[in-house]
Amino acid sequence: MRNRFLFLFSLGTALTAFGPTTFAQAADLITSIGGEGFLSDTQERFFNAENCADPAGTPFQDRIDTTSGTAGQVYLWVGGQNSECNRADNRTDITDRCQPVAGEAAQTLDINNLVLGLTLADLTDTGLVDCANTALQGQPYELYAFRTTPPGGDDVLPENFGIAPFKVDVTPPNPPNVSTAPPGLGESFTMTWPQPTDDLQLYRFYRNDVEDNPDTATLIEGVTADLNATSQNFTATGLTLEQDESTYLYATAVDKASAVPGNGNESEKSAGWMVTAAETAGFCDASGACTGCSVSPLSMAGGSQNSAAWMLALLFATACVWRLRR
């Protein structure tokens, strides 16, 4: 009985070895857009508004997966998500689901299995890739690379093509809803905003020392907040504000539509938040709140001294000490 089982098992294994082999469709990948390389293979690939402003000046590189074997050249077609360009009936003018890239010309691979010399214009010229879309998170597309020979009029087997997915996103996110009241006063300031609903990468910050005008605000270099942040701290020293000097602060949101974080679509600037540098002291502030170091009553909004504020502070400090001694 045991010998019979071993014989049947061996026979099944042998027959399987002679059976048809199922190949998986190769996974190609766009490795750079506009000269910027992606930081990881898991990043989504985006063409953004800046790329779409100059399609012919936006090169990209497509890396061909060689898992199923090497290929000296490929033939590129493009279609929307789930377009199934490997099927012959989807590569016709009747269905208009897929279109050849670069006029069906063969694309030669370099030693790193990269397709070079293509631009975004090669994709938009097909009439399928749309740089004017307003999809909130980007319009998805698929770039098909058929191995060695043109796809012709037949369905293409999985081992003979690969797909590189990408998106076109030209829609900027909404600006952060920054809290602008009350104005900031003191030696440190915390700008706040609610958690966004957009798919963001980071926040940038701007300032205007002259007026509340976002159009003439300048970027605060080296200061960003990550996508999960709902606040950003600033100091009067960091903003180079002297006593009683003010500036207006603004925030923008930047989405993920780029290879390098921070180079995606950027929102308009938020409403301006005015902050003013003022001395702080280790006693209760002018509002009567005893919370440690705060704005001194000596430094009023206009920068003038006030004897009444002195008296109020002294009386309040005395009351605080009396309560503590009890």
Query: pTM here?
Result: 0.77
Task: From residue 299, give the alpha-carbon distance in Å to each of 157, 241, 243.
Answer: 77, 15, 9
Residue 262 clears pLDDT 60, i.e. is over it:
yes
| CATH placement of domain 23-169 | 2.60.40
| Domain segments of the chain as ranges | 23-169, 184-277, 280-325
Contact 248, 217 (CB under 8 A): yes
Lowest-pLDDT choice from 63-72, 211-220, 247-256, 267-276: 63-72
Q: Under CATH, which number does the domain 184-277 receive?
A: 2.60.40.10
In terms of Cα–Cα distance, which of 141, 145, 113, 119 is closest to 129? 141
pLDDT of residue 29 exceeding 80, the answer is: yes
What mean pLDDT do residues 217-240 have?
Answer: 97
Averaged pLDDT, 290-315 = 45
What digits encode the pLDDT tens for the residues 231-254? Answer: 999 999 999 999 999 999 999 999
C-alpha 233: how far from chain center: 22
Amino acid at 10: S
For residue 10, what are the CA distances in angstroms to 6, 7, 13, 16, 20?
6, 5, 5, 10, 18
Q: What integer is the mean pLDDT of 193-220? A: 95
Indicate if 184-277 has the same CATH topology as 23-169: yes
A 10 A CB-CB count for 56 gives 11
